[in-house]
Structure 1
Amino acid sequence: GWTAKTGSEDCCRTHLAEHHQDTNHLVMSMFYRLKAVLIHVACVCAGHNASRDVVTLVKSILFHRRNPLHFHFITDAVANQILSLLFQSWMVPSVQVSFYDADELKSEVSWIPNKHYSGIYGLMKLTLTKALPSDLTKVIVLDTDITFATDIAELWAIFKKFTDKQVIGLVENQSDWYLGNLWKNHKPWPALGRGFNTGVILLYLERLRRIGWEQMWRLTAERELMSMLSTSLADQDIFNAFIKQNPVLVHQLPCFWNVQLSDHTRSEQCYTEVSDLKVIHWNSPKKLRVKNKHVEFFRNLYLTFLEYDGNLLRRELFGCPTQLQGALEELDEDDQCYDFRRERITVHRVHLYFLQYEYTLTGDETDITLVAQLSMDRLQMLEAICKHWEGPISLALYMSDAEAQQFLRYAQASEVLKNRKNVGYHIVYKEGQFYPVNLVRNVALRNANTPYVFLADVDFLPMYGLYDYLRKSVVQLDMAHAKKALVVPAFETLRYRLSFPKSKAELLSMLDMGTLYTFRYHVWTKGHAPTNYAKWRTATTPYKVEWEADFEPYVVVRRDCPEYDQRFVGFGWNKVSHIMELDAQEYDLMILPNAFMVHMPHAPSFDISKFRSSPGYRYCLQTLKDEFHQDLSRKYGAAALKYLTAQRNI
């Protein structure tokens, strides 16, 4: 809410001009305070696709708004999980969000046969008087395929124009559907003239409850279903049949509040200038490929919000400081590592399950999810990884809003990715100047749904059959009852076209021929030295190794393993610190004799080049390492001393 500063520094101001400005600010804030009506918006949202669509709608509303908003989402479990974290991490000021369980409302509408592609969720808007809080008097109800081109407060203001009798505001349907002449024997539900479109509704809830709306729509539906047998346009058919019988209850909205872009609409008669437009409704299953002479303009408007940087919508409404500003003020700007510390308090927006995801847990408690993170420049690895690993995958992608859309198009065009439903893609939106690699990894790790995780990297291809081999190893090494980290030995090739080794024997002969190397053999042998590749060549059973400084293997652990330390951003020490913590918690490091993974070549990442060239970057990394060591000692006591001495000997 709005708060005036009354700190001592304000009391001691002597400059009249400043005093005058402050008074002005107060007056303006009071003015806004009076004007700032809370606007309520309701949306039915179920499944992965609708959860993605609704974000574009929300962005278009936030972009134009001047008022505090309260969103009410009727969701299934999937949309609830996605949207609750999205809004929590988005931290938009002056926005409240409430969720209502669609499953609890299903019985209200499941008796109505519906042919429309929206299914049972297409009928849920009928239940809003029951679903929403009983003290909520008015609400704007929107479909997810809507884009705003103006301030939603203008629409809210239309409630004032309702006569005493009117309870519902709608725009006329712009297609000929309800005229009943689209084809031979086309028999639509009854409607007043062309009927009304329910993509945008003003619902006067208080009055609807008073006239007994719930009973009324039910009786209408029951009566019409006797002859109609099912609805074709979901809730819209029932709203229209109801209005035909009770025409005094409807307030007709000007058609620019719901410009409907399906193939057969008269939407062009709705506006003389494109600037008259207020709301665009993509209500054709073809969506963006509609025939309309202004469709280029509409498409661009829609794409603008689709790719718009959501972080920019965190701006203040009228001088209410956010939590982030408070945290920022506590940082020391003269600290050489200010940027690193600022990254630590940055809250990144997270959109879980960006694409369709289906996975049912296997009953045998040995299932393993491959966990990795990536950004735009590694997308081409995804298809290959999917071919090498048939088990579930949890991927966190660090991207901008525009890149997330590019990724979406890429995934929808790829036969391999399109057919894999057990891959969870979680978008972490870019912000700040570093790559928050461990934060991104943790998003992937937290959202794995299996008892075990394989903490991998997107640049590696697992050997064929690794998924099954690891599941057998989990049983064989009794990981359910022992703290173990199973190490998958890492190799690399410098060739872009590699005929991938089919077995350990083939891999060993490629090592001898020099087409493969042990991982980082040329630049950083320490990272994998403890794996003891010489021993691995002939090993036939798993063997335990001791932790050594800078060891950073790829491991399979139980899902309840410690998370990655998020202070490490960009390049350097991000995995080392994690393995160190596993060791501090007394995990046994076990090398698997018949597992391997191969690193594929790629251009060095931006953060590595920054690390190699900047003494400041290296200095701050060292500072972070020291702080990490102190924290380890605090957490694990004397046992953690060995890490410090190992570090000093380097």
Structure 2
Amino acid sequence: MGWARSQPCALALAAALAVCAFYYLGGGGETFSSATRRLRATRAAAPPATPPGPARRERTAAGGEAGRALHLLMMFTKAERSPALRGKGQAALRSLLRHGRLRRGDALHLHLVTDGASRDIGEGLLRDALRGAAFRHQVIIHDVSELTEKLFPIVEAMQKHFSAGSGTYYSDSIFFLSVAMHRIMPKEITQIIQVDLDLKYKANIRDLFEEFDNFQEGAVIGIAREMQPVYRHTFWQYRRENPQTRVGEPPPDGLPGFNSGVLLLNLEAMRRSKLYNQLLEPGMVQKLTEKYHFKGHLGDQDFFTMVGMEHPELFHVLDCTWNRQLCTWWKDHGYSDVFDQYFRCEGEVKIYHGNCNTPIPED
């Protein structure tokens, strides 16, 4: 999805990279599908893993800080046909582990959503990357087709508005996993970070989980702004009819839309939010798409962007350094005069995003 998210509709047929899974530990039971498998790879000398429950920090009886369950999800499909994808996955995992520093009692739960042909490749990459990891960790493998089957009834109605091509396709549901994850994820899991695979980590992944603590009341999702004038283009008709609008304008005062390469999903808040769940209803989606004359092709990113124009209070805006997008496609396709206003990002980069196959700087 990193490549597709910065391309026009004609380029939206790129291979899918959306991420999600559902996970439950407790009392020896598992509520995920029979195709889901857990691969344990924890250090023998590590402290006991945190029991299931909220990913929020909890205080111990002595006033100290208990461990935190860190759930990180990524998609790895069609890898048997794409050496480039395998290379991206390897680079992302290596950089993640190189900078990862967890606290005593923390545990990193890596969820990999994959297809049958890519499963062995993905498991091999994870084993190699995690070998010698200095913290407790666990790998959970999920079958993409089973996740799609569960998701389709929830997001079917919105797909025609935010998918490439015409009509609604069953396979398109995978691009909307983040939108309805709170409805298919066990309630014991309250927070998850979803990431694209074309990333390079320059900071401790635990610091990104700390961003959940900065959510304002009512916010349910943490997401960075889109760093190209993608939605300046997509909202062209609404902007023409409303010349004073902030919709599609660049930061800091405009609403440039979102990029879902890095997503913080507060599942507990998503479940509680009456407003957010109302916005998932087909009638509300239809109403908003008509108001904004919106037709997209980037799945969950389009949905979050459109909702953010109407209800920005639902989103915690991540600093651009947490999703420093590198693609410059729109600079050469009609928007060179305003491009830098969207692309500018000050500060030390924590995560590079090599969308549209843009090379990521070497260390």
- TM-score of the pair, normalised by structure 1: 0.36
Partner of 1:245: 310
The 3 A distance-change label for structure 1 pair 79 and 35 is: farther
Query: What amino acid sits opposite 1:282 in the alignment?
Result: G
Relative contact order higher in (CA < 8 Å, ≥ 6 apart): 2
Find 1:62's aligned residue among 97, 104, 109: 97
Q: What is the 5 A alignment of 1:338-349?
A: none
Partner Cα separation in structure 1 for residue 45 and residue 130 of structure 2: 18
The 3 A distance-change label for structure 1 pair 4 and 59 is: closer
Partner of 1:270: 345
Partner of 1:171: 224
Partner Cα separation in structure 1 for residue 164 and residue 343 of structure 2: 28
Partner of 2:164: 115
Partner Cα separation in structure 1 for residue 237 and residue 310 of structure 2: 26
Q: What is the 5 A alignment of 1:334-373?
A: none
Partner Cα separation in structure 1 for residue 225 and residue 137 of structure 2: 30
Partner Cα separation in structure 2 for residue 105 and residue 201 of structure 1: 18
The structural deviation recorded for 1:36 is 5.1
- TM-score of the pair, normalised by structure 2: 0.61
Partner of 1:315: none
Is contact 2:72-2:108 (8 Å) kept? Answer: yes
1:282 aligned onto 2:344: no
Is contact 1:142-1:201 (8 Å) kept? Answer: yes
The 3 A distance-change label for structure 1 pair 231 and 155 is: same
1:140 aligned onto 2:212: no
The structural deviation recorded for 1:248 is 1.3
Structure 1, residues 541-584: CA drift from partner, whole Å, max 9, x if none? xxxxxxxxxxxxxxxxxxxxxxxxxxxxxxxxxxxxxxxxxxxx
Partner of 1:38: 69
Structure 1, residues 366-420: CA drift from partner, whole Å, max 9, x if none? xxxxxxxxxxxxxxxxxxxxxxxxxxxxxxxxxxxxxxxxxxxxxxxxxxxxxxx
Query: What amino acid sits opposite 2:143 in the alignment?
Result: D
The 3 A distance-change label for structure 1 pair 229 and 153 is: closer
Partner Cα separation in structure 1 for residue 87 and residue 46 of structure 2: 38
The structural deviation recorded for 1:209 is 1.2
Partner of 2:279: 216
Query: What amino acid sits opposite 1:115 in the alignment?
Result: A
Is contact 1:41-1:142 (8 Å) kept? Answer: yes
The 3 A distance-change label for structure 1 pair 269 and 85 is: closer
Find 1:78's aligned residue among 112, 117, 132: 117
Is contact 2:237-2:293 (8 Å) kept? Answer: no
Partner Cα separation in structure 1 for residue 349 and residue 44 of structure 2: 32
The structural deviation recorded for 1:134 is 2.6
Partner of 1:200: 262
The 3 A distance-change label for structure 1 pair 35 and 62 is: farther
1:153 aligned onto 2:216: no
Partner Cα separation in structure 1 for residue 285 and residue 89 of structure 2: 28
The 3 A distance-change label for structure 1 pair 158 and 91 is: closer
Q: Secondary structure at the match of 1:270?
A: coil
The structural deviation recorded for 1:119 is 5.5
Query: What amino acid sits opposite 2:164 in the alignment?
Result: K
Rg comparison, structure with higher value: 1
Long gaps (5+) in structure 2: 1-42, 48-63, 166-170, 241-246, 249-253, 332-338
The structural deviation recorded for 1:280 is 0.7
Partner of 1:595: none
Q: Secondary structure at the match of 1:180?
A: helix
The 3 A distance-change label for structure 1 pair 182 and 158 is: closer
1:87 aligned onto 2:136: no
Partner Cα separation in structure 2 for residue 4 and residue 259 of structure 1: 33
Query: What amino acid sits opposite 1:150 in the alignment?
Result: A
Partner Cα separation in structure 1 for residue 317 and residue 176 of structure 2: 21
The structural deviation recorded for 1:245 is 2.4
Is contact 2:235-2:294 (8 Å) kept? Answer: no
Query: What amino acid sits opposite 1:271 in the alignment?
Result: E
Partner of 2:324: 259
Partner of 2:14: none
The structural deviation recorded for 1:223 is 3.5
Structure 1, residues 489-525: CA drift from partner, whole Å, max 9, x if none? xxxxxxxxxxxxxxxxxxxxxxxxxxxxxxxxxxxxx
State how many pairs are aligned. 259
Partner of 1:409: none
Partner Cα separation in structure 2 for residue 184 and residue 87 of structure 1: 46
Query: What amino acid sits opposite 2:285 in the alignment?
Result: A
Partner Cα separation in structure 1 for residue 322 and residue 206 of structure 2: 12
Partner Cα separation in structure 2 for residue 217 and residue 80 of structure 1: 32
Q: Secondary structure at the match of 1:147?
A: strand
Structure 1, residues 203-257: CA drift from partner, whole Å, max 9, x if none? 1111101125455234443444568585222211101112222221111111111
Is contact 1:43-1:142 (8 Å) kept? Answer: yes
The 3 A distance-change label for structure 1 pair 181 and 73 is: closer
Structure 1, residues 280-339: CA drift from partner, whole Å, max 9, x if none? 11112x422xxxxxxxxx4324xxxxxxxxxxxxxxxxxxxxxxxxxxxxxxxxxxxxxx
Is contact 1:75-1:100 (8 Å) kept? Answer: yes
Q: What is the 5 A alignment of 1:389-538?
A: none
Identical aligned pairs, as a percentage?
25
The 3 A distance-change label for structure 1 pair 245 and 76 is: farther
Q: What is the 5 A alignment of 1:178-193?
A: 178-180=231-233, 193=255
The 3 A distance-change label for structure 1 pair 103 and 222 is: farther
The 3 A distance-change label for structure 1 pair 186 and 124 is: farther
